[in-house]
A and B are shown apart, each in its own frame.
Chain A
């Protein structure tokens, strides 16, 4: 059974810092991985989708990497801003389940 773990569970950084969020998964037989953002009281918004054939995917200040063999992905946020404060979740397809989610990392960027 696929398990997705995100460490740390919460992170607080000063504005302007570069930061890395981690995601690990137990079954490396995946064909893609997604990162989502969730604002308080809102639904999830897809940020990046990395295919297993890719190693990186970039969108603005966000860069996601995928290392299937080690079962890891990272989300790099450059020059963090208070507006980046949210919970970030990663998810992978697994078996009959379209997506299995981690519990997320709650990010606070302090002005």
Chain B
């Protein structure tokens, strides 16, 4: 398996623009996680899905953030409108099971909002 795939790897956009980050989890994994990493706050869980259904989105910072998982092999994280404080590295991860299971991370998308 190719591992968790994320695109794009880097995104630079202007404040107010819509940003869409994409993730393909490892085949057979039932759980998908979206994280945000910054120097100040470390790695934070934004939302996670089980069998394509959102389970906990309490980490999503604002209504500007939304995530979908239309099928088992694809998920998106959208920010609309983007703001400079959204600049961070966004990771997608997947696992067979949820709580405490070994998670496999993608390479991340480095987002810069100017």
A residues at B contact (CB < 8 Å) = 30-32, 34, 36, 41-46, 49, 89, 92-93, 96-104
Contacts and interface: CB of A to CB of B under 8 A. Distances in A.
Given A46-B104, A89-B43, A92-B100, 17 more contacts: A30-B100, A34-B103, A36-B105, A41-B108, A41-B110, A43-B4, A43-B91, A43-B93, A43-B108, A96-B58, A98-B33, A98-B98, A98-B99, A98-B101, A99-B45, A99-B100, A102-B42
24 contacts: A41-B108, A42-B108, A43-B91, A43-B105, A43-B106, A43-B107, A44-B43, A44-B91, A46-B103, A46-B104, A97-B45, A97-B56, A98-B31, A98-B45, A98-B98, A98-B99, A98-B100, A98-B101, A98-B103, A99-B45, A99-B103, A100-B45, A101-B42, A104-B42
Contacts of B108: 41-43
Contact of B102 (A41, A49, A101, A104): A49
Helix, strand, loop or mixed for chain B's interface? Answer: strand
A14 B100 CA distance: 34
Interface string B55-70: 0101000000000000
A98 B56 CA distance: 10
Interface residues of B, number: 24
Contacts of B58: 96
Contact of A96 (B4, B43, B56, B100): B56
A32 B105 CA distance: 19
A79 to B, nearest CB: 26
Q: In the complex, which of the residues B4, B103, B108 has the most CB atoms of chain A within 10 Å of its own CB atom? A: B103
A25 to B, nearest CB: 13
A7 to B, nearest CB: 14
A98 B45 CA distance: 9
Contacts of B104: 46
Contacts of B105: 36, 43-45
Nearest to A97: B45
Given A45-B105, A93-B100, A101 B43 contact: yes
A34 B31 contact: no
